[in-house]
Every structure is written in C-alpha cells, then in structure tokens.
Amino acid sequence: MPRAPRGKRVLDAVSGSYTVVGRAPNGEAEPYFDRSRGVWVAPWRKPDGKVGRPTGKTRAAAVASRNRHLAAAEEAARCGPLAEGFSVTTTLTELGAWWLENVARHRVRITTLATYKKQWRLIAAELGSTPVRQLRTEQVAVFISRLVDRGAASRATNVRTLLVQVLDEAVSLGLAEANVAKKVRRPRVPKVTRPTLTPVEVVKLLDACDERFVAVVAFCYLHGWRVSEALGLAWQDLDLEAGTVHLRRGSTYADGEGMVLGPTKTRGTAGWQLLGPSVVQLLTRRRELQALDWERAGGWPQAEYEGEFFDLVFTTPEGKPMLRQNVDRAIRAAARRAGFDPSQLATHTGRRSVVTNLYASGSFDLADVARFVGHSDVATTRGYVQHEGDRPTMVSRKAFELLDPGAV
C-alpha cells in the first residue's frame, strides 16, 4: 500500500470523513523549503490571528526560530493581564518605583522608606535598564561584588536584601520565573567593635549633660531605648508617681519633612514599662523646664497622631519636636566635658552599652536582654554585644561547681 502523503487530507473509507496526516505540533503548519529565497520557513499563528513566517538556513533552524517566537508570545500572554502596565519589557527601574510606592510605602516607617529609596538608586544606576525577565544571577553577583570592593560590605548586604524583596514581588506578579538575587550569597561583613560606656561612665556622661537633653539621653543610656521612641513620648504616656510609661509611638526625621510621628520600630518595644528612679527624677525636672518654655513662648499647639492629641515630652524652647541630631550633639558635648572621646558617641551608643553591660554582667541571658530593650529577635541582640566582660570566667566557675567534684 502506498504511504499516505504528509499534511494531506485522507478519506476514511468507512466513515466517509477526512483526516489530516502529518500535522505539525501545536497545530502549526509544517515547515517548508522556500526555493525562491533558499530558506526554510516555519509558519506559526500569532495571538492576533496573523501568520508569522520565521526562517532558517535549515529546517531545524527555522523550527528553533518558531519556538522562540512561541515562547515569547507565551510570556507576553502571561504578563498581559498584570496591573499597572507590566509587560515582558518592564525594567528593574520601573518595577522598583512601583514597589516603593505601592508596597513598601504601606509597610515600613517613613525613615526606612527613605533608606530604601537611597539603596534603590544604587541598584537602578547599575541594573535599572535591564528588563526584569532578563536579569541574571551573574549580573547581580557582579553588582554586589563592586559594592564590597568599594569598602561597603554592610551596604552591599542591605542592598541585596532589598533587591530580594523586590524580585520576590516580581515572581508573585509573573514578571520573573525565579528570584535571581536569592542565588547570590550574602557578603561577609567584617565584625566591627563599636564603643560602649560602662555603667560608671554613663553616670559621668549624664552628670555632664545639658539639663535640656539629659532626660532623653538617660532613656538611651539607662533604658536602652531608641532615640525615636524617647522623642515620641508624651506626658499622657507617663505616670511618674507609679514610675511607669506606656510606649506607643516614635518620632523620626524624614528628609524635607522634619520630625514625623509614627509607630515604634518593632512591636516588642511597645507597651507598658517601668521607669528607673533616675529617669523619674530627670523627667520631673524636664517638666519644670518645659513649663518655663511654655510661659515664655505663650503656649504652643498639641501634637497629633492617629486622631489623638497630646503634649510631647521633648520639645525645643519654642515647642517644636526635638531633633535627634541635637541630641547627638548634646551627647558629644557632654562626652568632651566628661573626658571621653566624643567622635563615635551618639544616641545608639546608649542602646549598645545597655545590651553589652547587661549581658556581660552574667545576670541575664540574651533572651532577657532582648525583652528589656525590645528586640524581636535574639540574634539582633547578639549583634549588639561588643564584649562579654568577665562573663566567660563566671560561666566557667559555675560550670565547674556543677561538673567538677574537686571544685566543691
């Protein structure tokens, strides 16, 4: 029996119907050789119904060209329904701008958003013109490596973390098949020992501090508070007789806006806390000084946050919110008067000092210290410990008391 021709209609003698033999995969037409041009042609049906005719010097080359067109059309169809006009040509710059405005802005504090924007400018300058779907792991690796070479290993780590967040969103949106930034290893950040003050040195610092700033400095160096938490404190949050405070908000600096009230950095920080006796005394004096400022200024408006009006504890003589930068300057001035090197002392030095002193004392484990300063992750607290003091020796002695019969 002669072989049925490929691509031809063949009559079924039993049913009387016709079938097509030799049909190409996906319902596309069979490639053919165009003698007039001396090339192979592999026709395919475009999404708009028109017929495309990719060519190649060989049949295999024409089919490969058609497959590339089919894959591109499939990707375009997958991105087509996405909101905000995303497409297969959407660049990293475009995606980043969308993410910062529509995702990050509603999830992080205004100061964190400002930091994200600065970090994203670094990413956009190097990789921004690359379509998201074409971004490759080696491109990200080279970019991160260059940041490390500039002596910015810590910044490179933060930039990589930001890029991972944005590309996770790209995967969710269908703009990328995988998050290529996750395949790039985090840079190794050298351990840097930062200055801390001992409890005795803290007393000297507070004694030398300007009385207008000493209470807010005490929150940083005695309670381990972030300065934003202290600057967001209102008199309505305090019960000085009971020695308690309800921490509910923070005050942070935003470029172009000044000090802005917002939520605390972590949930673990917020809530009722005890006040140290020294802090109660300093707050009492702070209230007296502010009353004098109030009289001289003729009063000032209350602060407002989430529909609630209240009176901030730390204000300028004119009643404006106190700036973190001014607190830093007050700390450095006090350090000079107390005989300390002021070059690396600031508000966050207090938080590091509190964590280090508590842990080095041997009386608290890291979980206890984390709860005291409001860290949600003990690993974060571990990073604040600058030295362990006599803790290793104390641990060894306790271990020998339990384990070594000769130590009894």
Same domain, 33 and 147: no
Same domain, 236 and 293: yes
Strand partners, 271: 247
- The amino acid occupying position 282 is L
Give every CB contact of residue 159 below 8 A, 6+ residues apart in sequence.
119, 122, 123, 144, 147
Strand partners, 261: 251
Would you put residue 321 in left (φ > 0), alpha (ψ -120 to 50) or beta? beta
What total number of domains does the chain contain? 3
Assign residue 232 the CATH number of its domain.
1.10.443.10
Same domain, 306 and 374: yes
- Does any domain span residue 405? no
Same domain, 18 and 106: no
Return d(Cα 406, Cα 408) in angstroms, integer: 6
Assign residue 131 the CATH number of its domain.
1.10.150.130
The residue from 79, 112, 140 where one domain ends is 79
Closest CA to 94 of 123, 119, 118, 116: 123
- The amino acid occupying position 404 is D
In the prediction, which pLDDT does 268 show? 67
Return d(Cα 254, Cα 115) in angstroms, integer: 10
Return d(Cα 228, Cα 163) in angstroms, integer: 27
Same domain, 58 and 129: no
The model's pTM is 0.69
**Residue written as tokens 């967001």?**
232
Return d(Cα 226, Cα 337) in angstroms, integer: 24
Same domain, 340 and 221: yes
- Does any domain span residue 253? yes
- The H or E element containing residue 68 is helix 59-79
Same domain, 47 and 122: no
The residue from 159, 183, 207 where one domain ends is 183
Q: What is the DSSP annotation of 101-142?
A: HHTGGGTS-HHHHHHHHHHHHHHHHHHTTSBGGG--HHHHHH
Q: Cα dist. 132→28, 86, 137, 180 in Å?
A: 30, 10, 12, 10
- Does any domain span residue 407? no
- Does any domain span residue 3? no
- Does any domain span residue 190? no
Strand partners, 304: 309
Same domain, 203 and 271: yes
Q: 65 is in which domain, residue-wise?
A: 9-79
In the prediction, which pLDDT does 152 show? 83
Closest CA to 350 of 134, 206, 158: 206
Query: Angle, to 10 degrees, between the axis of helix 214-222 and the axis of helix 324-338?
Result: 80
- Does any domain span residue 2? no
Share of the chain residues as helix, strand and coil, in percent rounded to the nearest 5: 50, 10, 35
- Does any domain span residue 18? yes
- DSSP H helical ranges for 208-305: 214-222, 227-231, 277-297
Contacts made by residues 362-370, CB under 8 angstroms, sequence distance 24+: 362/389, 362/390, 362/391, 362/394, 362/395, 370/268
Same domain, 204 and 170: no
**Residue written as tokens 């995969």?**
25
Same domain, 219 and 110: no
| DSSP 8-state secondary structure symbol assigned to residue 254 | E
Give the side-chain half-sphere CA count within 13 A for 54: 21
Ranges of the chain with pLDDT below 50 = 1-7, 22, 80
Return d(Cα 164, Cα 180) in angstroms, integer: 8
Same domain, 141 and 15: no
352-369: burial string, b at 16+ Cβ within 10 Å, e else: bbbbbbbbbebebebeeb
Is residue 405 within 8 A of residue 377, CB to CB? The reply is no
In the prediction, which pLDDT does 112 show? 86
Same domain, 353 and 326: yes
Q: Give the strand pairing for 32-34 and 250-254.
A: unpaired
Would you put residue 187 in left (φ > 0), alpha (ψ -120 to 50) or beta? beta
Q: Give the tens place of pLDDT for each residue, 300-341.
A: 999 998 889 999 999 999 999 999 999 999 999 999 999 999
| DSSP 8-state secondary structure symbol assigned to residue 27 | G
- Does any domain span residue 1? no
Is residue 345 within 8 A of residue 336, CB to CB? The reply is no
**Residue written as tokens 């381990």?**
224
First CA to last CA across the chain, in angstroms?
104
The residue from 79, 108, 124 where one domain ends is 79
Is residue 387 within 8 A of residue 356, CB to CB? The reply is yes
